[in-house]
Structure 1
């Protein structure tokens, strides 16, 4: 342990993981919930190097990628439950199975490499870090009480811009993240304001990782704000409880009109 005790400081990590290989958004928050680092890496070794560079001990890691996938074909129970709960908000889960991903998922392999427990019933704050599967789309809908999912993932830069602007506003409304104090945050917002080709794809990974890191922090500090859909035996996804508000699809833009984005019905549930 270092003299200032940072080696033992609690750390909460978010990984927006490529399902099998490729780009991964990474983010970390400290025990107060403040964003301490974020970025984008590619390989498993680069993820390991990034984690090693963080000051603190991982308590919870939240991963946006299939973690436990026991089914050979079809959907997991968790994906069906997320679809039933958040499908009306446009936030159903993608299908994962062993035919697509193999016997051991990338997320499970990384959890084994880092010694993270993957059972959500594992107590947090002990000797072993807990790794959870999460999914930003339903998390954002639930935490911010959105009428519909944010549209920031598909289309050209002009069509994605409103969703990104609202995404930025929502994250800035989370007081624990303290994004105004982040050296990285102004770089991200400048990139979103004037993106070059490929920029939004890279920023998307990083913003999703920040959401994942916040979910990791919530799991330890405010577990009542999240629930487990599924089980460790069948595969699970951690997301907010079923929304109490009704979904409302956004109005399609008129010809030549830029999408307006979706607006939250209430404040962030940080």
Structure 2
């Protein structure tokens, strides 16, 4: 490894019990994608810590699909309550996390044990830290970034046979190939996998999504949820936005976009900008709202366009 400090993104799909393996991966940015440095299955918390320590001289961003801080004896944490309320529109929810439930799988709650050990190594729930750790969630990451705001049904449930699961995992891998450089796990033929081998493969894919969630949320649209007043869980949110521009002639233009920086550049510098703004350059972004999805953004765009200029200016000034 180079002596130069680099950034590494670590994904952990943590098994709740000690008998099952956890998916583990580590990746680093390479051009516009993440390059997979290592991906494997690990069993103990100590094994996971040992793998992380191999990169201790670098900036590390760890995403764990498991509850790291569990103060409540029963019921839901506030994290689950708030997330479930926010994501109900997408039919996405998180299971309750509490001591009574999690100690059935492991007396010490493995995810809490992992977090405690990472805290001793100076990992913090803060992207500005040299060592960062957050809870992440594969379902919301996949839905928000790749699967049109819907859950990808690749998990084993009643009514889903192996053929169906493999079809969904094939879709999953195509999504990951857009974000990661080519790697053997993303090219592996699913036809010969079944039972435990298929589940192990799924766990490693999930570790990639955990790592990517940390990478994406560092610089893009994300929402943080707190435990005991500290940001603890992070998830991507919808990219769709409705926005307003102030044109050179002082008129206002309203549109929708998934990438405001790119769209603003198009309005100012290319033929891809709206016909209305082409002879009114330069334009300035003066307002935007996050929207649940494309339909929501389009509806909100129409509503704003019906406002008077005075009402639009009042909205901008809020």
Q: TM-score, normalised by structure 2?
A: 0.65
2:292 to 239, 244, 249: 244
Alignment partner of 1:226 is 2:226: no
2:165 match = 160
Query: Residues 1-270 of structure 1 correspond to what in structure 2 (within 5 A)?
Result: 4-5=2-3, 8-21=5-18, 22-32=20-30, 33-53=34-54, 57-102=58-103, 105-114=109-118, 115-116=120-121, 120=125, 122-126=126-130, 129-154=131-156, 155-174=160-179, 177-178=180-181, 180=182, 182-186=183-187, 189-190=188-189, 192-220=190-218, 222=219, 224-233=220-229, 236-241=232-237, 244-245=292-293
Report the CA distance between 1:58 and its aligned residue: 4.7
Q: Distance in 1 between matches of 2:170 and 2:186?
A: 13
Local SS of the residue matching 2:212: helix
CA shift for structure 1 position 107: 2.2
Kept in 1: contact 2:9–2:60 (CA 8 A): yes
Report the more deviating stretch, 95-104 or 138-147.
95-104
Cα distance in 2, alignment partners of residues 212 and 90 from structure 1: 20
Determine the C-alpha separation between the residues in 2 that align with 1:137 and 1:163: 13
- Tell me, what secondary structure is at the counterpart of 2:151? coil
**Higher relative contact order structure (alpha carbons within 8 Å, sequence separation ≥ 6):** 1
Give 3-state SS (helix, strand or coil) of 1:80's partner: helix
Aligned length: 232
Measured on the aligned residues, the alpha-carbon RMSD in Å equals 2.7
TM-score calculated relative to the size of structure 1: 0.75
Provide the C-alpha distance between the structure 1 equivalents of 2:115 and 2:59, rounded to a whole number of angstroms: 12
* SS in structure 2 at match of 1:228: strand
Cα deviation code 1:148-202 (max 9, x no counterpart): 201111133112122111101111122xx21x2x24433xx31x23313322211
**1:69/1:234 contact within 8 Å kept:** no
Quickly say closer, same or farther: Cα 1:225–1:104, change in 2 above 3 A. Answer: farther
